[in-house]
A and B are shown apart, each in its own frame.
Chain A
Amino acid sequence: MTLNKVFKSCREAVADVFDGATVMVGGFGSFGGLPVNLIVALAEQGAKELTVIANMGGVGFELTRRIKPGGYQDLGILFENGQVKKFIGSVPALGGMPPDSPIERLQREGKVEIETVPQGTLAERIRCGAGGLGGFYTPVGVGTVVEEGKERKVIGGREYILEMPLTADFALIKAHKADTLGNLVYRRTARCFNPVMATAAKVTIVEVDRIVPAGELDPEVIVTPHVYVTRIVEAPR
């Protein structure tokens, strides 16, 4: 078997992300589970007109200094670079921050389309896409702007709306450890959106703290089976 999923650098691992691709990005907020090294590599690679699916839009380097002295990178860099055509997520911009995040600026200028999705609906749409299902009915969003244009159905006396699946060309994922086959384990709350997104893309690219030989991870605690994983890169914090 000549299968080799291990890449030497994040730059090589994201080299074929093409203009117009749909890219899922794991994580939750600005840290803890965000595949920061892959995001920065994609910013350097420069693919444009991307549709990005992620929980949060990122606050961008300038604003991060309000949170941590010195600042840090998050998803905001892709918006700063003008690489994103459309964003699908639950928190495009943080209400508690000034309205200066890159995504919010671009939205005011009409340069990025935003689809705001309740967080649980986002996770479930991705799970649906990953699992080959055609959609699902949820009570979340009934009677709100989220319902606009969607089928409503009463099931067992409760109102639900139909939500559709999401898939992607690429998923950028952060895990704690991978074995050389691509089995993944996560660490603490850095798990978040990573496992579900890892299952929903044609090409799943994972940055990990450490790569270990196949057989070293306990099969009972593997969260993402290797069948979903295309590429792995060791990129320690």
Chain B
Amino acid sequence: MKGRLDEATIALRAAREFADGSVVNLGYGMPGLCAGFIPEDKTVFFQSENGVLGYGSLASDAEKDYELINASDQPVTPAPGMCFFDSAASFDMIRGGHIDTVVLGAYQVSERGDLANWGRPGRLATGMGGGMDLAAGARRVIVTMLHTTKEGQPRIVRECTFPLTARRCVSLVVTDLAVIEVTAEGLVLKETAPGWTVREIQDLTEPELQPAPDLKEIEL
């Protein structure tokens, strides 16, 4: 059946990218849902820029402790081996290349992997938080986003028109329609949402997409 993936399914697909034993930071909003999709046989250490490595999952109402939160201000659960540190140490970890994967939301991604994810016209006071540090410092940047704006305009564009977070930083984009890899030769369409053709996805994407030789539907 043809449809757009919901946010949880986008997060589920992104979470499949995490290697066993890797250190992962989840950005504000949709990326946070990835924490709920780690299979039992895989260990992932979640780092959050407010100073925690190795927390569990989002806390239930009964478990809530507002002195154990992630960077989206959501209470999380403790996990064995969890550790705490201050903001300066946290960003040493981030800038120093000790985060394997970061998942960030985006307003726009360009065909070269430029990322715009913190400011939009008319909202000049919204800040970048730790987004610029994560985009510049993480070994691999995955973006989860909706493929188009509410008005149906592409968010994957030739040049970002929104304020940039970092240039040439995005490796993989997971949307409600597709999984797209950013390569030196351009954007490669790796997977499509069930029922969608390459042509239909291309029509909603500004730069040219090159279908991968092993192009397939996203497994749900």
Contacts from A to B (Cβ < 8 Å): 28-33, 55-57, 67, 89-96, 99, 101, 103-104, 107, 114, 116-124, 126-127, 138-146, 186-196, 223
Contact = CB atoms under 8 A, between A and B. Distances in A.
Contact of B125 (A104, A118, A192): A104
Given A28-B50, A146-B132, A92 B88 contact: no
Contacts of B175: none
Contacts of A186: 84
Interface in B90-124: 90-91, 94-95, 118-120, 122-124
A194 B132 contact: no
A145 B73 CA distance: 26
Name the interface size band of chain B: 35 or more
A196 B86 contact: yes
30 contacts: A28-B73, A29-B73, A55-B87, A56-B127, A91-B127, A92-B125, A93-B123, A95-B120, A99-B123, A119-B129, A120-B87, A120-B91, A120-B132, A120-B137, A123-B90, A123-B91, A124-B88, A140-B133, A140-B166, A141-B132, A143-B164, A144-B132, A144-B165, A144-B166, A145-B164, A190-B67, A191-B51, A191-B86, A195-B86, A196-B88
A121 B49 CA distance: 12
Counting chain A CB atoms within 10 Å of each CB, the highest count among B29, B122, B123, B128 belongs to: B128
A190 B51 CA distance: 9
Contact of B163 (A31, A56, A144, A187): A144
Given A32-B67, A120-B94, A189-B68, A92 B86 contact: no
Given A32-B66, A90-B129, A119-B91, A192 B51 contact: yes
A53 B120 CA distance: 23
Q: Is the interface of B mostly helix, strand, loop or mixed?
A: loop
B69 A31 contact: yes
A30 B71 CA distance: 11
A108 to B, nearest CB: 8
A104 B73 CA distance: 20
Complex A-B, nearest 10 residue pairs according to Cβ-Cβ distance, in ascending order: A120-B91, A120-B133, A95-B126, A119-B130, A93-B125, A118-B132, A91-B127, A123-B87, A190-B67, A195-B86
Contact of A32 (B69, B126, B165): B69
B48 A31 contact: no
Nearest to B86: A195
B52 interface: yes
A139 B136 contact: yes
B118 A95 contact: yes
Nearest to B132: A118
Contacts of B119: 95
A192 B126 contact: no
Contacts of A90: 127-130
B37 interface: no
Interface of B: 28-29, 48-52, 65-69, 71, 73, 84-88, 90-91, 94-95, 118-120, 122-133, 136-137, 163-167
A93 B125 CA distance: 5
Nearest to A146: B132
B166 to A, nearest CB: 7
Contact of B86 (A31, A188, A193): A193
Contacts of A126: 88
B127 A92 contact: yes
B128 to A, nearest CB: 6
Contacts of A89: 127
A62 B195 CA distance: 45
